[in-house]
Chains A and B, each alone.
Chain A
Amino acid sequence: MKSASLALFGWLVPGGAYLILRRYAHFAIFALLVTVTFAAGVALQGGLSGPQAADLQGLDPFTTFIFRAGGFAKALAGAPYLLVFLTGSPHSFLDGRLHEYGTTLLVMAGLFNVLAISNALETRKEQP
């Protein structure tokens, strides 16, 4: 399977890249880790939405970039993100600014998923 397909499936299904490589324990643990982190972020009322143009008014370019990057990082969690986003997240970007713990956990879930994908790709390179 090509690396891009592996990465795409790994994004969609948390830990899914390990599933394709038949590393079932790694898949289970990373799937649980990403899902629990994301669920904790939603439970702590983290803001799932990225910033809108009105939210960024008056901010310097670096802060704008950081806020947009944070919004993108949340989407890296894959299926949990899509599930909550498509069913309508009740918390806006500004809600997320208020409930920073939840927002931090949402971003971490996305980064954990990227970590899983990158490590799975590296593991595949090392395999004969």
Chain B
Amino acid sequence: MPHPEFTLLLAVLLSAALALLGERAPRERVYVGIYTFLCCALATVAGSWGMYWIHG
């Protein structure tokens, strides 16, 4: 499985799990899921740039 697909799979699974936590309205759960997914995407981009700067 290529790296981007695996990263996407993990981000989706993590977003789904965190959206289920706590006492929230369904709409708020969607917001939490989207927010978590965007944070995962941001972390991936930041980590990629970090690896590029460190290793060249």
Contacts and interface: CB of A to CB of B under 8 A. Distances in A.
A119 interface: yes
Interface residues of B, number: 12
Interface residues of A, number: 17
Interface string B1-37: 1000010011001101100111100000000000000
B35 to A, nearest CB: 17
Contacts of A33: 13, 16-17, 20
Interface SS of A by simple majority: helix
Interface SS of B by simple majority: helix
A101 B17 contact: no
Nearest to A30: B20
27 contacts: A29-B16, A29-B20, A30-B17, A30-B20, A33-B13, A33-B16, A33-B17, A33-B20, A37-B13, A40-B9, A44-B1, A101-B1, A101-B6, A104-B10, A105-B10, A108-B10, A108-B13, A108-B14, A112-B13, A112-B17, A115-B17, A115-B21, A116-B20, A119-B20, A119-B21, A123-B23, A126-B23
Interface of B: 1, 6, 9-10, 13-14, 16-17, 20-23
